[in-house]
A and B are shown apart, each in its own frame.
Chain A
């Protein structure tokens, strides 16, 4: 799976939007962009994923650049419970790919009240 680059840490104020960037310049056409987050003392949890089009779900939005070399996870109104490490992961389409996720160091998001 291709490599991703994320900032080590970011800070946000509660109730404000947060934009978490991810660079993946070596992404291939069959790579999906997945985001997971890990709250303190918990296992990771799935947030969102996409291929080419922007995606929205109840947790977040995913904005994918037209050339797919970067993406941004958007939390529309950060809460204290959103403080976590956010991982951007590229997953090759299932066929022929390994099953495991390859986690980088992620972005540690701090949310200030």
Chain B
């Protein structure tokens, strides 16, 4: 079946502009995660949605970052007033929550370049 999809695959923006990144999770997955990976770095957790619960925003680096998930499906990550240090690959993952195992399925990512 279809995996996690993300759009756009690449985004180049000027410093100070706002950007929106989209994630379409696997149908039926109740959990959705955003991570980012800066050049040569490991993956950094940003935000997590689980069903109708309040999202876990503990990984968001600043108040310029926000995310929403509409209808329990599609999610949008918004970065306002982008800075050069926001340049990274933004990865989305989804999973079916179980009590003991939570395999996360990752999308291909959106490569964001802030000039």
B-contacting residues of A (Cβ < 8 Å)?
32, 36, 42-46, 49, 91, 93-95, 98-106
Check A98–B42 contact: CB distance below 8 A.
no
Q: Beyond A94-B102, A99-B33: 16 further Cβ-contacts under 8 Å?
A: A32-B101, A42-B106, A44-B93, A46-B105, A49-B103, A91-B102, A94-B97, A94-B98, A94-B99, A94-B100, A99-B97, A99-B102, A101-B35, A101-B43, A102-B45, A103-B44
Which of B31, B91, B101, B108 is the one whose CB lies under 8 Å from A99? B31
How many angstroms between the C-alpha atoms of A49 and B104 in the bound complex?
12
Check A42–B108 contact: CB distance below 8 A.
yes
Q: How many contacts A-B (CB < 8 Å)?
A: 64
Assess whether B61 is interfacial by the CB under 8 Å rule: no
> Considering the complex of A and B, which 9 residue pairs feature the smallest CB-CB distances, nearest first?
A43-B106, A100-B45, A103-B43, A46-B103, A99-B48, A103-B42, A43-B91, A44-B106, A100-B48
